[in-house]
Amino acid sequence: MSEETTHFGYQKIPVAHKTKRVSRVFESVAEQYDLMNDLMSLGLHRWWKKLAIARSLIQPDNTVLDLAGGTGDLTQEVIKQLGPNGRVILADINAAMLAKSREKLVNRGILQGVSRIQANAEDLPFHNNSIDRILMAFGLRNVTFKEKALKEMARVLKPGGRMVILEFSTVTSKPFGKLYDAYSFSVLPKLGKWLCNDEQSYQYLAESIRVHPNQEELKSMILAAGFNRCDYQNIQAGVVALHIGYKIKPV
């Protein structure tokens, strides 16, 4: 019987190996992750994340899940919108990224209203209908079973809640796409080598973006997972897309 495979960038690997390979990427880049994000996107990722938070319409008493929260960029902004009864849960599969989030949040004096847990998006340790808002920035691309993760998000979200996914997507302009490809495959891995001594992880980044579902495919997956409605908007000609899944009825 042939083994089930999945993408790891352009490579096809056994599904059982993907989580470990992705973990190695983030263990390797955790220390320089924030600096690399600023350099790679020329600071634009900060604006993309602010837009995702604005579109999630957080209320002061909400329980917000920052899924695949990494070093806590979203968490540190979301907490500003919450009152004393609101809270943010930063969940990530990777211990090194969680450790960086702890360091960053503590250094910024963000201690109240935030909990951090190590969890796989495919198997969320939350009750059904218990979370008001879910934000996932640049995480879904790395998940082995994306359909499973989307179903889990639909399960834990409260009816009336929103899930906002910010992810690299498919560029909609051909001339710009050529420039973007040149940048992704020539400049990014070199930056990775220079700053993290890790060219391969940034080669993986460029490749994983190309094999990720495009805007319409992701929208279909979100609806198939049990969300009642999904809208999306392209940002910077589709370099990034922001998908919003609405849960109206219990799943």
Ligand X SMILES: C[S@@+](CC[C@H](N)C(=O)[O-])C[C@H]1O[C@@H](n2cnc3c(N)ncnc32)[C@H](O)[C@@H]1O
Note the residues at the interface with ligand X (CB under 6 A).
22, 26, 68-70, 73, 92-94, 97, 120-122, 137-139, 142-143
Burial per residue of 179-195, b for 16 or more beta-carbon CB atoms within 10 angstroms, e otherwise: ebeeebeeebbebbeeb
Output the smallest distance, CB 234 to ligand X, in A: 18
* Between 74 and 159, CB nearer to ligand X: 74
Output the smallest distance, CB 40 to ligand X, in A: 11
104, 71 Cβ separation under 8 angstroms: yes
Burial per residue of 77-104, b for 16 or more beta-carbon CB atoms within 10 angstroms, e otherwise: bbbebbeeebbbbbbbbbebbbebbeeb
* Between 142 and 184, CB nearer to ligand X: 142
CA distances from 114 to 62, 125, 148, 251 (A): 12, 16, 26, 27
Output the smallest distance, CB 6 to ligand X, in A: 12
Tokens 């498919």 belong to 170
* Between 86 and 139, CB nearer to ligand X: 139
* Between 32 and 142, CB nearer to ligand X: 142
Output the smallest distance, CB 84 to ligand X, in A: 25
